């Protein structure tokens, strides 16, 4: 496309079928270069800590303290990974984190789908008020609900359990909002046509509506999953037993070891912790971006 700079239709044959739209102003070479440089800077800025984390996890502890700024070790070693895997019940933490994330994701998706379905396709008194009230919950800071939630979970006897971590987050205002936006893009006549065919409400949802909002569902699932996976403070409050730790809490174990922090092990554990969310995001990146673009919300 670099040929097109300066002329909006350069390179397009005269008789080509062109949709009528205002010609977009192209960037000049200088602007494009400057912008590219800026993006590169932001990318490096964002990626640097991660690259450093992976690099450090492969260095010996001596190398880390001697040459902390180098990104990649001269001689890489897997000793930290071996250490993490054998010295702490890391597999156990992965399983814990996975379960919490799975339960929360499934529950949030389920409640969001049902609520958004009602808010989009059913007419009832107080619908808009109720909807915005639910959306508002997405903006209540965690610190405001932390203590009531903690007391509730404690009274229910769920401290130090996966369920205790999951319970307060089984529904999500933002999820309801995003799915309602997705359902709104589905013409009402799809729903009505199915109704005229005597299809029940849950089957309409399953056979007609959900397949049409699948990208949004996938994006939400991954967002919910990653958020829960990375969550630190709430599980930290609830989980008392070491055996019930999730990965983010387990990480702090390496900072408090006697004789200072074991940086190598810490970085190896961090790398392992971020592996799954990174993979999930990479797989669904396009759908996540599309969902936010189409909902009018910036990610």
Partner 1 sequence: MSRTKSAGEIDRRGEIRLENVGKRYGSVTAVEGLTFTVEPGERAVLLGPSGGGKTTTLRLIAGLESVDTGTVYLGGRPANDVDPGLRDIAMVFQNYALYPHMTVWENITFGLRMQRVPRTVIETRAREALRLLDLEGLEDRLPRALSGGQRQRVALARAIVKRAPIVLMDEPLSNLDARLRVKARSEIVRLQEKLRFTLVYVTHDQTEAMTIGTRIAVLAGGRLKQYGTPKDVYERPANLFVAGFIGTPPMNLIHARVEGETLRFEERPEVSVSLPTAIASALAERRGRSVVVGIRPERIQFAPFAGTEAALRDREPDGPWTVRIPVDLRFVEDVGRERYVYAAWGRTEVGGVVPAGGIEVTSRMLLMFSWRDVHFFDPKSGENLGLSWTGNVLQSV
Chain positions contacting partner 1, by CB under 8 A: 187, 189-190, 192-199, 203, 207-208, 211-212
Give the residue with the Cβ less far from partner 1, 194 or 280.
Answer: 194
Give the residue with the Cβ less far from partner 1, 83 or 190.
Answer: 190
C-beta of residue 97 within 8 angstroms of C-beta of residue 272: no
Work out the burial of residue 212: count CB atoms within 10 Å of its CB; fewer than 13 is exposed, 13-18 middle, 19 or more buried. Answer: middle
Give the residue with the Cβ less far from partner 1, 117 or 254.
Answer: 117
DSSP-derived secondary structure letter, 243: G
- Minimum Å distance from CB 120 to partner 1? 16
C-beta of residue 198 within 8 angstroms of C-beta of residue 250: no
Nearest-angstrom CA–CA distance, 221 and 108: 8
Nearest-angstrom CA–CA distance, 24 and 9: 10
The CB density around residue 195, as the number of other CB atoms within 10 Å, is 14
- Minimum Å distance from CB 209 to partner 1? 10
Nearest-angstrom CA–CA distance, 5 and 25: 9
- Minimum Å distance from CB 225 to partner 1? 24
The CB density around residue 64, as the number of other CB atoms within 10 Å, is 21
CA angle 284-220-141, nearest 5°?
A: 130
- Minimum Å distance from CB 116 to partner 1? 19
Give the residue with the Cβ less far from partner 1, 165 or 213.
Answer: 213
Spatial neighbors of 175 by CB under 8 A, at least 6 apart, are 108, 109, 111, 112, 116, 220, 224
Give the residue with the Cβ less far from partner 1, 153 or 194.
Answer: 194
C-beta of residue 130 within 8 angstroms of C-beta of residue 120: no
- Minimum Å distance from CB 137 to partner 1? 30
C-beta of residue 220 within 8 angstroms of C-beta of residue 288: no
- Minimum Å distance from CB 214 to partner 1? 8
Give the residue with the Cβ less far from partner 1, 130 or 212.
Answer: 212
- Minimum Å distance from CB 210 to partner 1? 10
Give the residue with the Cβ less far from partner 1, 31 or 192.
Answer: 192
């Amino acid at each position: 496309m670099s040929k097109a700079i300066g002329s909006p239709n350069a390179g397009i044959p005269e008789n080509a079928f062109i949709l009528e739209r205002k010609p977009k102003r192209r960037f000049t070479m200088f602007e494009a270069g400057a912008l590219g440089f800026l993006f590169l800077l932001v990318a490096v800025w964002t990626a640097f800590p991660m690259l450093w984390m992976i690099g450090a996890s492969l260095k010996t502890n001596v190398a880390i303290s001697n040459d902390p700024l180098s990104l990649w070790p001269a001689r890489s070693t897997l000793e930290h990974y071996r250490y993490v895997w054998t010295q702490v019940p890391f597999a156990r933490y992965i399983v814990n984190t996975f379960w919490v994330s799975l339960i929360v994701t499934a529950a949030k998706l389920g409640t969001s789908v049902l609520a958004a379905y009602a808010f989009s396709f059913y007419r009832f008194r107080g619908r808009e008020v109720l909807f915005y009230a639910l959306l508002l919950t997405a903006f209540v800071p965690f610190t405001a609900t932390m203590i009531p939630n903690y007391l509730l979970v404690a009274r229910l006897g769920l401290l130090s359990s996966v369920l205790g971590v999951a319970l307060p987050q089984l529904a999500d205002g933002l999820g309801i909002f995003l799915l309602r936006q997705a359902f709104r893009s589905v013409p009402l006549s799809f729903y009505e046509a199915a109704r005229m065919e005597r299809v029940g409400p849950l089957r309409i949802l399953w056979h007609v509506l959900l397949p049409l909002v699948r990208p949004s569902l996938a994006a939400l699932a991954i967002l919910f999953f990653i958020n829960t996976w990375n969550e630190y403070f709430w599980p930290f409050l609830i989980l008392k037993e070491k055996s019930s730790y999730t990965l983010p809490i387990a990480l702090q174990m390496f900072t408090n070891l006697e004789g200072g922090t074991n940086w190598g092990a810490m970085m190896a554990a961090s790398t392992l912790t971020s592996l799954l969310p990174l993979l999930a995001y990479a797989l669904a990146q396009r759908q996540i971006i599309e969902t936010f673009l189409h909902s009018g919300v910036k990610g």
